[in-house]
Amino acid sequence: MSFLMQALNRTMLVSLIEKVNKNVNKNVNKKVNMSEEKEKPVDAASPFLEEKAFKSRTVLVFGTINDKLAAEVSKRLIALSAESDTPITLLVSSPGGHVESGDVIHDMIRFINAPVRVVGTGWVGSAAVNVFLAVPKERRVCLPNTRFLIHQPSGGAGGQATDIAIQAREIVKIRERIAALIAKESGQTLERVTNDIERDYWMSAIEAQEYGLVSRIIVNQNELNA
């Protein structure tokens, strides 16, 4: 009889422990899930933000310029232009990137019917300057702390001697094209621009305005329509 009672007590004890563990795990999982929900960041590509950006007719060129970014920006520009001829605001904060990808965005800005106004912020460098100069000077503005960087293109030539020579010629052609674009859009002489881009040439917002890259330095969004 005593043996039977001990067996029953052990069975009850095991059952009680299992029940307690089950409740503890349930509460822990619940707290973990609640914590993950609280810490979950807002997705930059969420439908809500996408809708707001589309309605505000704003396109971002942020980060390194590559073929993926060029395709995304082009898609948005085409969609916004098809929606309305109301001006599109392009915010640029980029260190530059692939020259041809920058050319895609540059050409697309000029291709669509809707006018585009470009706002520089953070820094606008290298291939991003090509994008920035896609619109007339009166539609080029920047925020006070923006920095600009112009320089000649760089490339790693490799392979056979003939291939290296071909790549070198192409880099020279790109450099000449970039210098001509900057000279035309800034009002500087081609000779000065060619000399300036021999090395990294940094400019503050005020210096970029004096150079002719920027028409105005603005602080508030309302100044865009001034």
Please give the model's pTM, rounded to 2 decimal places: 0.77
- Per-residue confidence (pLDDT) for residue 162, from 0 to 100: 82
10-residue mean pLDDT series, the chain (226 residues): 46 49 50 45 65 88 98 98 97 97 98 98 97 98 98 73 83 94 98 97 98 98 89
101 is catalytic: no
151 is catalytic: yes
Q: Nearest-CA neighbor of 149 among 213, 98, 77?
A: 213
Tokens of 154: 């760089």
3-state secondary structure of 48: helix
- Per-residue confidence (pLDDT) for residue 14, from 0 to 100: 46
Candidate list 81, 101, 151, 186, residue with the active-site label: 151
Candidate list 84, 126, 154, 186, residue with the active-site label: 126
Tokens of 97: 């990137």
Q: Which residues contact 168 (CB under 8 A, 6 or more apart)?
A: 157
**DSSP per position, 95-135:** --B-HHHHHHHHHHHHHSSS-EEEEEEEEEETHHHHHHTTS
- Per-residue confidence (pLDDT) for residue 225, from 0 to 100: 86
Round to whole Å and give the CA distance between 207 and 211.
6
Tokens of 169: 């010629």
- Per-residue confidence (pLDDT) for residue 208, from 0 to 100: 98
